[in-house]
């Protein structure tokens, strides 16, 4: 079967004319394990095989170029690639922003990163950082574009001023609806960056087309962009379930369905589901929720039987336009708080090297979500009004940057 969609890397490899501006220039690559071609060759290996391209360095984001680290806040070292003999610099090790010495290793940086369409996913922060560094050092940045597997829907509160962090690259909602190439254009414009920026666009990507609604199901294999992103269901749910990282509830790390499930040993899943249906049944549309039991092999509640809920988004009941994972997960928190006002829901620990602010607030880009959950008088309608305003503002602000209609 011939693929109808061509990712940026595939077009660059197939068309010498697209590569012509790279002639005589030192080229570096920023990539991760899901940076593969249509035949599943890693982008680094595919570029190194081109006789007309001079590959001088590579960079790895969080979890590494080849995917060497499992959990958050586990750093990757710099090393020399044993096959290609080029330096591989870690942007999740001693530094998060590339140093002057790293920037001196290339003239053009190719960025080939599969994103999940969520503000907290740190690859978009790394994109911002390399764009800022390229502006400072007079380098070029090319994004080899890939699909947003969560598609075009926008959802969640926007990050508030002063809440920028490594998991909050800018004032966007949790579910941003853009590709990496489009986000790059937004960063350049909103940050006022004077940088030589290009996007090798995809051909044939239809972000609203069923059944993938963002991901080309049946045409491209899913490769984990990070260790706990094993499938499309996780990508669809992630804009909500990522908030579990800021709670005492397990998000399913240490199971085969991370970030599609949540629970705890002391959780009454049936009661939580019932309360969710009472508070805001319309926030549960587009998916099916199922009571489950699971035992994580590592991470939170390791070795303990947890009672919880699985979010199913892969059956005939799935409605992409109706499914709102951020609201669904917020509603689960609200239901727990309503049932158990003193439940120790919020996890107080160092999150992405931030020691002063609660993880749940960093994840949401403000304390607004947590305050809504903890306020017994706050209603779903009030949170909906806040989020809807942010979502509408984001759509209006990013319309000119959309590359795929």
Q: What's the pLDDT score for residue 396? A: 98
Where do the structural domains in the chain lie, given as residue ranges? 8-227+396-401, 232-374
Q: Please check whether the domain covering 8-227+396-401 is classified as CATH 3.40.50.12170.
A: yes
The per-type count for the chain, helices as H runs and strands as E runs, is 12, 10
Helix, strand, coil abundance in the chain, percent, nearest 5:
30, 15, 50
Distance CA 98, CA 72 (A): 20
Query: Which residue bears the tokens 């579990």?
Result: 244
Q: Give the list of residues 6+ apart from residue 216 with CB closer than 8 angstroms, or none.
A: 3, 4, 5, 147, 205
Strands 87-90 vs 54-60: parallel, antiparallel or unpaired: parallel
79-80 sheet: strands from edge to edge = 79-80, 87-90, 54-60, 26-31, 108-112, 140-144, 196-200
Which candidate, 104, 100, 98, 9, places its Cα nearest to that of 60? 98
Give the distance between the most distant pair of CA atoms in the chain. 66
Which candidate, 338, 309, 336, 303, places its Cα nearest to that of 325? 309
Q: Are 19 and 52 spatial neighbours (Cβ–Cβ below 8 Å)?
A: yes
Q: What's the pLDDT score for residue 73? A: 59
Q: Are 347 and 359 spatial neighbours (Cβ–Cβ below 8 Å)?
A: yes
Q: Are 143 and 183 spatial neighbours (Cβ–Cβ below 8 Å)?
A: no
Q: Are 156 and 386 spatial neighbours (Cβ–Cβ below 8 Å)?
A: no
Distance CA 206, CA 114 (A): 16
Distance CA 128, CA 268 (A): 42
Which candidate, 105, 144, 147, places its Cα nearest to that of 127? 144
* Number of Cα atoms under 13 Å in the Cβ half of residue 44: 23
Q: What's the pLDDT score for residue 2? A: 58
* DSSP code for 256: S
CATH topology of domain 232-374: 3.90.1150
Distance CA 333, CA 337 (A): 6
Which candidate, 210, 163, 133, places its Cα nearest to that of 352? 163
> Which parts of the chain sit beneath pLDDT 50?
1
HEC secondary structure over 309-324: EEEECCCCCCCCCCCC
Distance CA 289, CA 300 (A): 22
Q: Which two tokens stand for residue 340?
A: 């158990």
């Amino acid at each position: 079967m011939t693929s109808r969609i061509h990712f940026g890397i595939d077009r660059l490899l197939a068309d010498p004319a697209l590569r012509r501006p790279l002639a005589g220039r030192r080229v570096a690559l920023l990539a991760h394990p899901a940076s593969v071609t249509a035949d599943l060759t890693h982008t680094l290996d595919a570029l190194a095989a081109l006789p007309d391209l001079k590959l001088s360095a590579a960079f790895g984001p969080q979890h590494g170029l080849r995917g060497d680290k499992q959990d958050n806040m586990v750093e990757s070292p710099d090393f020399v690639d044993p096959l290609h003999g080029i330096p591989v610099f870690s942007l999740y090790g001693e530094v998060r922003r590339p140093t002057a010495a790293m920037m001196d290793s290339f003239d053009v940086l190719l960025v080939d990163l599969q994103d999940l369409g969520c503000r907290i996913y740190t690859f978009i922060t790394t994109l911002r950082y390399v764009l800022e560094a390229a502006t400072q050092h007079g380098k070029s940045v090319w994004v080899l574009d890939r699909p947003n597997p969560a598609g075009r829907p926008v959802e969640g509160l926007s990050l508030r001023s002063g809440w920028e962090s490594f998991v909050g690259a800018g004032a966007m909602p949790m579910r941003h609806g853009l590709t990496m190439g489009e986000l790059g254009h937004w960063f350049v414009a909103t940050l006022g960056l004077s940088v030589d920026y290009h996007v090798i666009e995809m051909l044939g990507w239809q972000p609203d087309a069923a059944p993938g609604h963002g991901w080309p199901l049946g045409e491209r294999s899913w490769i984990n962009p990070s260790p706990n992103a094993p499938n499309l269901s996780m990508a669809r749910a992630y804009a909500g379930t990522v908030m579990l990282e800021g709670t005492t509830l397990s998000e399913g790390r240490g199971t085969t369905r991370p970030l599609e499930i949540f629970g705890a040993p002391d959780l009454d899943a049936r009661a939580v589901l019932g309360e969710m249906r009472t508070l805001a049944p319309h926030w549960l549309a587009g998916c099916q929720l199922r009571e489950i039991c699971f035992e994580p092999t590592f991470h939170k509640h390791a070795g303990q039987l947890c009672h919880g809920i699985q979010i199913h988004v892969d059956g005939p009941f799935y409605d992409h336009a109706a499914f709102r994972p951020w609201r669904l997960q917020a509603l689960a928190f609200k239901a727990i708080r309503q049932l158990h006002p003193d439940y120790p829901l919020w996890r107080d620990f160092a999150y992405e090297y931030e020691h002063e602010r609660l993880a749940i607030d960093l994840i949401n880009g403000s304390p607004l979500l947590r305050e809504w959950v903890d306020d017994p008088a706050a209603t779903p309608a009030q949170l909906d009004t806040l989020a809807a305003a942010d979502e509408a503002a984001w759509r209006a602000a990013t319309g000119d940057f959309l590359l795929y209609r």
